[in-house]
Structure 1
Amino acid sequence: MVDAIIIGAGACGLMCAVQAGFLGKQVILLEKNDKAGAKILISGGGRCNYTNLFSSPANFISQNEHFSKSTFSQWTVEDSISFFEAYGIYGQEKTLGQLFPENNKAKDIVDVFTSLCDDLGQTIRLQADVKSVQRKEDGSFAVMYEHQGKSKTLEAPAVVIASGGLPVQKMGATDFGLRIAKEFGLKIVPTAPALVPLTVTGKDAEWFASLSGNSIFCRVSNERISFEENILFTHWGLSGPAILQISSYWRPGEWVELDLLPGRNILELIEQERQQNGKRSLLTLLAQLYTRKIADALAKYLPVDKNLASLSKADLQAVEQQIHYFRVKPAGDKGYDRAEVMRGGVDTSELSSKTLEAKKVPGLYFGGECVDVTGWLGGYNFQWAWASGFVIAQRI
C-alpha cells in the first residue's frame, strides 16, 4: 500500500510525486515508456520551454474559462521559477515570455525530478502498461498493469491520472485517461489536435507549396482571436508559431485571415514611394518588404508589373486586400502526431477546481493534458502540468 498511484511519469505526474514526497507521502509512478518525462525531453527542440512569464488563465482554452484560476493561484509562474532555480536551472526569456533553461537542456529538467524521486523514496516503474483501474468496496483503488511480461496489481486510497493526451503516438500517447474517465462515468469534452500545422488543398495548394520554407511575420486572425508571430509556408500548407496558436481556435470549414504587414499600412507605403519615384514598380516595393520568393508569389494576385503612379483605385483595393486581408480556408490539420497538445478532455465540471478530484469518485484525480485545459504555445501547457501536479499532491 502507498498513499497514491500516479499513472504517467510526465510533467504533471513527476511534479505530483515530488511534491507529495515533500509532504511525507509515498507514491508509485507507473510509466508506459522506457524513460520518464519522454515528452519533456523532446519539447522545445530538446531545450524545454518550461513556463511562460505571462501565463494566466486567459492563455488557456476550456469550456469553463474560470476553472484553472484556483490551480494557478496555488502554484504560480514564480513558484515554477523558484522550484527549478533551487535545483540549478535558471531561466532565460526568449520570445513573448517563453522561459528556457539558460545553460541546461530538457534532460536536466527531467533529471531534477528523477533525482528528487530517488531522494524522497518515490518509485518510478517504467514499462508499466496499466490495463485497468477499479474501485474496491472500501473506496480504495486496485490498479492492474503489465510489467516485464507479468500481470501485477497495486492498491492505494488514491489514483492520479496524469497520462497525457493523444499526441504523440510514437511517444506512447494513448486515450488512456479519457477511457478511465468514461469508465467512471465522467463526461468528456470532444477532443482534437491543438497547436498543430494546418493543411491547404485544392486550387491553392500549389501556390502554398511553391513558398515552402519561407517564413514571414504576420497577424493571423479568425472571428475569435488573433496572434502576431511568424508563419511558415510548407509543401502541405501552413505552420509556424502564429498558425499553431490559431489552430487551437480554428474549426473545420472556417477561414483564417492573414495580415502580411501587421502594424504598417501598404497604401501609405505606396503613396510615400509614389512621391519619391512613381516609376518604380509594385514588385520592386514588395521585394523590399518581403523575400523575393514571396514577392514573386504575390504577383499571382497583384498588378506587380505596373509602376506605382499608374495603380488605379481598383488596383490599390486589390493590393490592400491581399496584403492585409489575405484569406485561406484550411482543409484540415496534420493530426495528433504533429500536434503539440490535445484540445478537450475530461470535462472540468466533473472535477473540483480546488483539488482536481473527481466529484463523483473520491480519491480519483486528473491532471495535466487529459483535462479540458489547453494552453497557448510557449510554455503555458508546462505551467498547467506543474500547477496541477502540485495541487493534486496536496490532497492525495
Structure 2
Amino acid sequence: MNNYDAIIIGAGACGLMCAAQAGLLGKKTLVLERNDKPGAKILISGGGRCNYTNLHTSTDNFVSENPKFLNAVFAQWTVEDTISFFENFGQIKGQEKTLGQLFPISNKAKDIVSTFTQLMYDTGQDIWLNTLVKEVRQSDTEYILTIERDGRLETLVAAKIVFASGGLPVAKLGASDFALRTARALGMEIVPTAPALVPLTITGKEADWYASLSGNSVYARVYNDKISFEENILFTHWGLSGPAVLQISSYWKAGEVFTMDLLPRFKLGELITEERSAGGKRTVGQLLQGYFTKKMVEALTRFLPVDVKIASLSKADANLVVDTIHKFKVKPAGDKGYDKAEVMRGGLSTAELHPKTLEAKKYPGLYFGGEAVDITGWLGGYNFQWAWAAGYAIAQDI
C-alpha cells in the first residue's frame, strides 16, 4: 500500500478533515471506516443540525490534564478557519444560536459531511466503508494493519497511521476503545476515561421527587468548587439532564455533590423583602408561581412552607426558602453511561504527543486526534473545533 501517504482510521470529524486537508496538499490517503457511511456521529449531532464550532473557543473550554496543550493546534487552525473552510468548500453559511454556537444556516448536518466527501472525491482520496481495523502493529519502518472487509481478513502496510477512531460514547455508531487499546499495548500513558456531557441519575429516597418533575425545564446556574454553568436543566424520570447538567457532568465524579441555583437572575431574599413591604399577603407558593411552573411549585412543597403568607414567614423559614431555591444540593448516584454521553473524558495522555503535529513521541508516523486524546470540550461545538483543528494539524505533518 505504498501508494498512500497515510492510512486514516475513522471517518469521523477528525479523520474526514485530515483526509480533506491532506488532499489539498497533494497527498493521497486511505480512510477506513467501520460504518456503512462516513460521519455517523456528525450526522446525529445537534439533533441532526450539527453545531460545528463555537465562536468563543479557547483552551478554557476544555477538560484535560493539560488543556494548554491545545495552544499549538489552535494556533494553526482557528474558529475563523473553520468558518472559512465550510463557506469556501461547502457553501455553508453559519448562524449563531446561543452562547456562540454556530450551526449551518440550512440546519442540516449532512451538508457538513458532504463538504468532506466532495472534497475527498475532488482530491482523489479513498475511503473504504464497512471496514473494521482489527490490529495495528509496528514493523521496522512501517505499520502493519489487519482489517476485516467483506468478511475476509486483509493486511495493509503504511508508513503513517492516523488514529481518528473516536472514543467510547454511542456504541451503536461504531464507538470503541480501539485507539486506546492500541496505545496501551504500545506502552503509552492513558488518562482514566469516563462518560462526559452525560445525563446524571438520581436514586434512593430522592428519586420519586425528581421523577415527579419529569419533562420540566428550568433555567438555572449549576456549579461546584471547580466550575459554573448557567443554562437550562431538565428533570427526567431517572434524574437530571439539559445543557447545564451535561456541562457540569464533565467536572463531576461519583460521590460528589453539586449545587443548583434555580433562580439565578433574581435574588429571592430581595423579592421576599419587597413582598413584605407590600403587605405580604401572598403566600410563598404564590410568590414562586411568578417564576416557576405550577408543577414545580407543587413539588417544592416537600421542602418549603409554600402555604405560609410572606407576612407570617419567620426569619428561619425565609432563609430556608432562599437557600433551597438558590443553593439546591444534588448528589447524583451515577450517570447514564457511554450510550447517552456526548463525549468521553480522559484518553491518550497529551504528554505522549508532539503538541504541534499530534505525532506520537515514541512512534514516528503514528498520529492521534479527536476524542481518543485527553481533550474534552464543553457542550456547544467545542469538540468539533478540536476535531477539525487536530485533523488539519496532522495533515500538515503527513
Measured against the shorter chain, the TM-score band is: over 0.9
User: What is the aligned length?
Assistant: 395
Tell me if the contact between 2:50 and 2:107 (Cα under 8 Å) persists in the aligned partners: no
Q: Map 1:1-396 onto structure 2 (within 5 A).
A: 1=2, 2-86=4-88, 87-137=90-140, 139-396=141-398
CA deviation profile, 1:286-316 (whole Å, cap 9, x unmatched): 1111011111111111111110100001111
Task: Please identify, of 261-270 and 13-22, the stretch whose mean Cα deviation from structure 2 is larger.
Answer: 261-270
In 2, Cα distance between equivalents of 1:132 and 1:100: 36
Task: Please identify, of 99-108 and 322-331, the stretch whose mean Cα deviation from structure 2 is larger.
Answer: 99-108
Deviation at 1:277, TM superposition (A): 3.6
Tell me if the contact between 2:145 and 2:155 (Cα under 8 Å) persists in the aligned partners: yes
In 2, Cα distance between equivalents of 1:52 and 1:203: 39
In 2, Cα distance between equivalents of 1:305 and 1:30: 64
Q: Normalising to structure 2: TM-score of the pair?
A: 0.98
- Name the SS of the counterpart of 1:67 in structure 2: helix
In 2, Cα distance between equivalents of 1:238 and 1:113: 36
Deviation at 1:67, TM superposition (A): 0.6
CA deviation profile, 1:228-268 (whole Å, cap 9, x unmatched): 00000000000000000000000110001000110311010
In 1, Cα distance between equivalents of 2:44 and 2:102: 16
In 2, Cα distance between equivalents of 1:395 and 1:186: 21
Tell me if the contact between 2:283 and 2:309 (Cα under 8 Å) persists in the aligned partners: yes
- Name the SS of the counterpart of 2:344 in structure 1: strand
- Name the SS of the counterpart of 2:68 in structure 1: coil
In 2, Cα distance between equivalents of 1:157 and 1:151: 20
In 2, Cα distance between equivalents of 1:322 and 1:102: 41
Task: Please identify, of 148-157 and 197-206, the stretch whose mean Cα deviation from structure 2 is larger.
Answer: 148-157
Tell me if the contact between 1:89 and 1:104 (Cα under 8 Å) persists in the aligned partners: no
Tell me if the contact between 2:219 and 2:263 (Cα under 8 Å) persists in the aligned partners: yes
Q: Normalising to structure 1: TM-score of the pair?
A: 0.99
CA 1:180–1:212: 2 relative to 1, 3 Å? same
CA deviation profile, 1:195-227 (whole Å, cap 9, x unmatched): 000000011000000000000000001111010
Tell me if the contact between 1:41 and 1:107 (Cα under 8 Å) persists in the aligned partners: yes
- Name the SS of the counterpart of 2:289 in structure 1: helix
In 2, Cα distance between equivalents of 1:332 and 1:177: 26
In 2, Cα distance between equivalents of 1:278 and 1:117: 69
In 1, Cα distance between equivalents of 2:8 and 2:165: 9
Unaligned segments of structure 2, at least 5 residues: none
- Name the SS of the counterpart of 1:338 in structure 2: coil
Task: Please identify, of 146-155 and 250-259, the stretch whose mean Cα deviation from structure 2 is larger.
Answer: 146-155
In 2, Cα distance between equivalents of 1:337 and 1:149: 27
CA 1:30–1:330: 2 relative to 1, 3 Å? same
The residue type equivalent to 2:268 in the other structure is I
Deviation at 1:149, TM superposition (A): 1.2
In 2, Cα distance between equivalents of 1:122 and 1:154: 16
In 1, Cα distance between equivalents of 2:50 and 2:201: 26
CA deviation profile, 1:333-390 (whole Å, cap 9, x unmatched): 0000000000000000000111100000000000000000000000000000000000
Root-mean-square deviation (CA, aligned residues, Å) is: 0.7
The residue type equivalent to 2:354 in the other structure is S
In 1, Cα distance between equivalents of 2:333 and 2:125: 47
Deviation at 1:65, TM superposition (A): 2.0
- Name the SS of the counterpart of 1:58 in structure 2: helix
The residue type equivalent to 1:25 in the other structure is K
CA deviation profile, 1:163-204 (whole Å, cap 9, x unmatched): 000001111111001011112111100000000000000110
Name the % identity: 65
In 1, Cα distance between equivalents of 2:67 and 2:137: 31
Unaligned segments of structure 1, at least 5 residues: none
- Name the SS of the counterpart of 2:84 in structure 1: helix
